[in-house]
């Protein structure tokens, strides 16, 4: 792992883009808004650009703070939810996971426990008696080391120490954010451990293809390449079943708007207060990067495609936003005005032997690739 980091650092400079041209101007957040020290480590804001994309990222939780993309007329909007200064992330009364990496175990673990070789490990539990997205601290609340950065790429590293939030093993994680000329935002993960553990890391940007604060997502047209889901109970913990989506509001193999069936009478929709479920992707290979989902915003023409080498995708339709907090531009972050598309393995897999394993042992390497591709139609 350390040799890998040295290789990256040797081939990457520390040049940052400061501006972007286009029919509308990218409004960069001042870097000073994020320039603080916490727990003896520096927090910063970094600007990346490639193709027609401009992205700002902070190393606090490796969060995507802004992501500017053009619409069909070439007008630019920031299409991820976030805040304009670090204080709002550090003392956040609203949605915790805006733009962040989540883990070391993304999604939910029932009861906040997992068993490894006969030993029970206990993680912090929320009000529902489960561990969500890593625990009280999680990868979203730590300051990542910036190993290297250039115009279009930033490389992060974090050593998740043995016992943090109850997880066994020193988990050494390398994560790369890269923009490219194909207007893709690519996220790559590597992780190794010195003790057997469970790892399932994901990215948690909230997208609104109209632009942050510019309306709901219910008219967005969704496709998900999946013929099954993992149903959940009323606490959003998987039951262990693998359910066929045929004839249900969860069948997005053909295009449907998000709002078309979100309000129908359905136990699963009631449990999630809308869509907040894990889709089992219809994959052609065991580990290739393949199409997972797409979202089309018909008003402005923005089109987002998701590709991954993971077996599943969590689609969340912004059901728990309440409009009580404001985003970067003074707009309220409201109910169903964003979506999250989290590539992953299945939630709560330590408790379900029929789910793909998330176990990671010494000598093994966890890898994960997620690609968000932006275009217009």
pLDDT digits (tens, 9 = 90+) for 88-124: 999 887 899 999 999 999 999 999 999 999 999 999 9
| List of residues 6+ apart from 119 with CB closer than 8 A | none
Give residue 25's pLDDT band: very low, low, confident or very high (50, 70, 90): confident
pLDDT band per the 50, 70, 90 thresholds, residue 23: low
Query: Tell me: the pLDDT tens digits for 208-259?
Result: 999 999 999 999 999 999 999 999 999 999 999 999 999 999 999 999 999 9
Rounded mean pLDDT, 334-355: 98
Measure the N-to-C terminal CA separation of the chain; round to a whole number of Å.
41
Distance CA 134, CA 32 (A): 29
For 41, half-sphere exposure in the C-beta direction (CA atoms, 13 angstrom radius) is 14
Contact predicate 354/230, CB 8 Å: no
- The CA distances from residue 376 to 142, 234, 315, in Å, are 35, 37, 21
CA 228 to chain CA centroid, Å, is: 21
Asked if 176 and 188 touch (Cβ cutoff 8 Å), the reply is: yes
pLDDT score of 63 more than 60: yes
DSSP state of 9: H
Please indicate whether the domains covering 2-204 and 212-352 agree at the CATH topology level. Answer: yes
Q: Which of 163, 170, 145 is nearest to 46 (CA)?
A: 145
The structural architecture, per CATH, of the domain 2-204 is Distorted Sandwich (2.70)
- Distance of alpha carbon 14 from its chain centroid, rounded? 25
φ/ψ (deg, to 5) at 268: -70, -40
Domain boundaries, the chain: 2-204, 212-352
Please say whether the beta carbons of 19 and 28 come within 8 A: yes
Rounded-to-integer distance, Cα 63 and Cα 156, Å? 11
> Which residues participate in catalysis according to the annotation?
204, 342
Q: The domain 212-352 is classified under which CATH number: 2.70.98.10, 3.40.47.10, 3.30.830.10, 3.40.718.10?
A: 2.70.98.10
pTM of the model: 0.94
């Amino acid at each position: 792992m350390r040799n890998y980091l040295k290789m990256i650092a040797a081939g990457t400079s520390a040049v940052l883009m400061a501006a972007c041209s286009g029919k509308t101007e990218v409004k960069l957040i001042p870097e000073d808004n994020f320039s603080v020290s916490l727990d003896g480590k520096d927090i910063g804001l970094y600007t990346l650009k490639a193709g027609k994309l401009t992205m700002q990222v902070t190393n606090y939780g490796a969060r995507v703070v802004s992501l500017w993309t053009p619409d069909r007329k070439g007008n630019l909007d920031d299409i991820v939810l976030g805040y304009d200064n670090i204080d709002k992330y550090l003392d956040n009364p609203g949605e915790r996971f805006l733009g962040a990496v989540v883990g070391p175990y993304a999604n939910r673990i029932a009861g906040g426990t997992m068993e490894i070789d006969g030993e029970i490990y206990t993680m912090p539990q929320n009000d529902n008696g489960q561990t969500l997205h890593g625990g009280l601290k999680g990868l979203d609340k730590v300051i990542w080391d910036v190993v290297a950065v250039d115009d279009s790429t930033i490389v992060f590293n974090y050593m998740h120490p043995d016992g943090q939030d109850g997880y066994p093993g020193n988990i050494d994680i390398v994560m790369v954010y890269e923009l490219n000329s194909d207007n893709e935002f690519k996220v790559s993960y590597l992780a190794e451990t010195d003790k057997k553990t469970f790892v399932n890391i994901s990215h948690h940007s909230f997208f609104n293809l109209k632009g942050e604060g510019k309306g709901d997502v219910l008219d967005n047209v969704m496709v998900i390449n999946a013929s099954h889901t993992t149903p959940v109970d009323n606490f959003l913990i998987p039951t262990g079943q693998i359910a066929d989506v045929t004839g249900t509001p969860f069948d997005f193999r053909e295009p449907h708007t998000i709002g078309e069936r979100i309000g129908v009478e359905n136990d699963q929709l009631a449990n999630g207060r809308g869509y907040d479920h894990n889709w089992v992707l219809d994959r052609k290979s065991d580990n290739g990067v393949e199409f997972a989902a797409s979202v089309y915003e018909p008003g402005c023409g923005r089109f987002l495609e998701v590709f991954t080498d993971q077996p599943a995708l969590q689609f969340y339709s912004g059901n728990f936003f309440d409009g009580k907090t404001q985003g970067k531009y003074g707009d309220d972050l409201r109910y169903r005005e964003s979506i999250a598309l989290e590539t992953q393995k299945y939630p709560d897999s330590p408790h379900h032997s029929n789910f793909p394993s998330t176990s990671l042992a010494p000598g093994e390497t966890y890898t994960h690739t997620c690609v968000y591709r932006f275009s217009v139609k």
